[in-house]
Amino acid sequence: MSTKHRARDYVFIVFGSLVTAVGISAFITPAKLAGGGVSGIAVIFYHLYDFEVGTTIFLLSLPLFIAGTRIFGARYGVISLVGTALLSLFTTLFGLLFGFEGFLEYTNSVDILLSALFGGFLCGFGMGLVLKGGANTGGTDIAAQIISKYTPIPVGTSLFIVDGLVILGGGFAFGLESALFAAIALFSTSASINFVLLNMGTRYAKTALIVSDLHEEIALRITDELGHGGTLLQATGIYTKKDKPVLMTVIPNQKITQLNSIVKEIDPQAFMIIEEAYEVIGEGFSPMEKQR
């Protein structure tokens, strides 16, 4: 991997941990939202026993790091440790500087709802950046992977169970209303993570499938004028039973209008499908990198 992309990954990990820490310290903790994960347990411990949140996150994660390292290898453990160490450090720093009182009054349910939405968004956005950088924040993710490895339960289901138990614990500690708001925070976090992983750091592009008898001429124009290639897929019409090649090409959003003009000019009778391509890896787009 090039130095440029390695530096980018470091920025993602550090900045992502920072953003996640803001979400935890400024919204999640003050609102008493135990929305799953080790951070949710830390929130419970903070309000019940006055344990510092960042330190609790790190201490609770240590046994999981050790287990994850033994089961999945040293590299996995180190990557998890880096992400959580930064998250714990930033959370502790924000706690020392500003406390865990938050920015809202918390005199009504609206303040808690806003914290669930914005806190969940910040946590998910930060976690997504950390994952983009090739690290993770460890915690219950490791526990879910361990459960999945030794049982028939999929990772997603395992994570849902583990986080559900944390939310349930938060319900016993802070009440049913808090547990429901915590579930909203968890949903907001998941949606934000998905958004970052599917969109951030990639060039928005679309996949075009073009069916035309003049596909060779269209392909030539795409290559010459748009600077992109394509692939001919062999297909058979359901109604006609005739073989007809399908031209598939991936084009950045800003060139889609040009593609439409080219196809319409060459073959007004062409059939074309354009759909979103959430991530494009390879020549002309994001460089192919060794998978971590």
Q: Which residue intervals of the chain bear CATH 3.30.70.120? A: 205-277
- What does the pLDDT look like over 196-225, one tens digit per residue? 876 665 556 789 999 998 999 999 988 888
Q: Which of 16-30, 60-74, 152-166 has the highest mean pLDDT?
A: 16-30
pLDDT band at 255 (very low <50, low <70, confident <90, very high): confident
For range 15-22, the mean pLDDT: 94
**Which CATH code of 1.10.260.40, 3.40.50.150, 3.30.70.120, 3.30.70.260 fits the domain covering 205-277?**
3.30.70.120
H or E element in which residue 128 lies: helix 109-132
Token pair belonging to 87: 């998250």
- State which H helix or E strand residue 15 sits in: helix 3-23
Is the overall model pTM greater than 0.85, yes or no?
Answer: no
Between 51 and 146, name the one with better pLDDT: 51
What average pLDDT does range 31-43 have in this prediction? 92
- Write down the pLDDT at residue 111: 94
From residue 159, alpha-carbon distances to 33, 37, 50, 128, 153 in Å are: 18, 9, 27, 16, 10
pLDDT for residue 184: 94
**How many CA atoms, within 13 angstroms, populate the side-chain half-sphere of residue 146?**
19
Please tell me what DSSP assigns to residue 288.
Answer: P
* Distance (Å, whole) CA 32 – CA 119: 11
β-strands 246-252, 231-233 pairing: antiparallel
pLDDT band per the 50, 70, 90 thresholds, residue 103: confident
Predicted local confidence at residue 8, as pLDDT:
79
Strands 231-233 and 205-211: unpaired
Count H helices, E strands: the chain?
10, 4
CA proximity to 183, closest of 103, 127, 126, 113: 113
Range name among 23-27, 70-74, 210-214 with the lowest pLDDT average:
70-74
Whether the pLDDT of residue 290 is over 60: the answer is no
Q: Which residue has the tokens 């400024």?
A: 26
DSSP state, residue 202: S
Alpha carbon distance 58, 87 (integer Å): 8
Count of CB atoms situated within 10 Å of the CB of 50: 7
> 16-20, 66-70, 253-257 — which one is most confidently predicted on average?
16-20
- Residue 40 has a CB neighbour count (10 Å cut-off) of 27
pLDDT of amino acid 204: 61
pLDDT one-digit tens code per residue, 225-234? 888 888 999 8
